Amino acid sequence: MYKRILVPVDFTEKSHRALEIACQIAKKLKSEVYIMHVVKAALSVYLDELGDYKSKAPSGQPFLEEVLAINESKMRKLIDKFDAHGVIIHSKLKVHSTPNEIARLVAEEAFDLTVVGNYEHERFDEVFKRTHPEKIAALAKNPVLTVNNVLAEFKIAKILVPTNLTDDYSSATKQLVDFANTFNAELNFVYINTQTNFRTTLQVEKLKAEFKSINGLGDQKISVFNAKSLNRGILYAADYYKSDMIGLFSHHRENIKNLLVGNITEYLITKSDIPVLTFNLNKPA
């Protein structure tokens, strides 16, 4: 299912958590893990014909080589630390001078699955406060699994899937179903009924039938959970149903409202205590 799993690492505890989970998934699926670190060097660099990084300023080459050697050593130590999992781990370094490019560099790799630890202390810009994981999820072509907390074992029995009952998720529904089947997990689709967007029982039942038909969900059960707000309602529902993971279908709309007040995906990726698996419904170029 997921043969190549990417884990962006910054050598902090949160990226170690992500690698731990990636290794557990890889062992179950007989996959290989690729760790990637982006070196943020204040140098103008380029890749030569052999694929090696070179400094455009000759005087900067010794410094660049030293930085690369230090980070390659860190990568080897990290791989050794997870050797006991019995999983093949590859490593890759990229160099860039702009922190804002990290998500793009990760997303363009187009691996089958990306597992990322939420490191909220590093932001993409100080105006809109967007996190690396949210930006990666917005750009990635394939699913992104965000891990916030330490998990002794990646054991998924129940996946909460919030839905507004109107969006078409059919382009990614099969991926979610396959993921759930791989881990013998139960999918629990939930509509959060709020005061702002309240729907009656008759309205909800009609939307349920249409939604299941559009997304090919057959007799899939869809629950209704009443809450004062959508964002917190999803987290409350995840706790109420004893969920092990939240599965999100996201369009990652870039309108000014979302940039100023945030969107549901960003909120859940940042606030959820359980892993969040995001399927990007946009079609990246």
CB 5 within 8 A of CB 34: yes
Residue with tokens 């930006």: 135
> Going residue by residue through the chain (285 aa), what tens digit of pLDDT does each one get?
899 999 999 888 888 999 999 999 999 999 999 999 888 776 677 677 767 778 777 778 888 888 889 999 999 999 999 999 999 999 988 887 665 666 777 777 778 999 998 754 444 444 444 566 777 877 778 899 999 887 778 889 999 999 999 988 988 899 999 999 999 999 999 999 999 889 999 999 999 999 999 999 999 999 999 999 999 999 999 999 999 999 999 875 554 334 333 478 888 888 899 999 999 886 544
Give the per-residue pLDDT at 39. Answer: 84
Per-residue model confidence (pLDDT) at position 148: 86
Distances (CA, A) of 281 to 141, 147, 154, 178: 9, 21, 25, 17
Asked if 39 and 95 touch (Cβ cutoff 8 Å), the reply is: yes
SS3 track for the chain: CCCEEEEECCCCHHHHHHHHHHHHHHHHHCCEEEEEEEEECCCCEEECCCCCEEECCHHHHHHHHHHHHHHHHHHHHHHHHCHHHCCCEEEEEEEECCHHHHHHHHHCCCCCEEEEECCCCCECCCCCCCEHHHHHHHHCCCCEEEECCCCCCCCCCEEEEECCCCCCCHHHHHHHHHHHHHCCCEEEEEEEEECCCCCCHHHHHHHHHHHHHHHCCCCCCEEEEEECCHHHHHHHHHHHCCCCEEEEEECCCCCHHHHHHCCHHHHHHHHCCCCEEEEECCCCC
Distance CA 145, CA 86 (A): 21
> Which domains are seen in the chain, by residue range?
4-147 (3.40.50.620), 158-280 (3.40.50.620)
* Side chain identity at residue 189, one-letter code: F
Residue 237: both structure tokens together? 């529902």
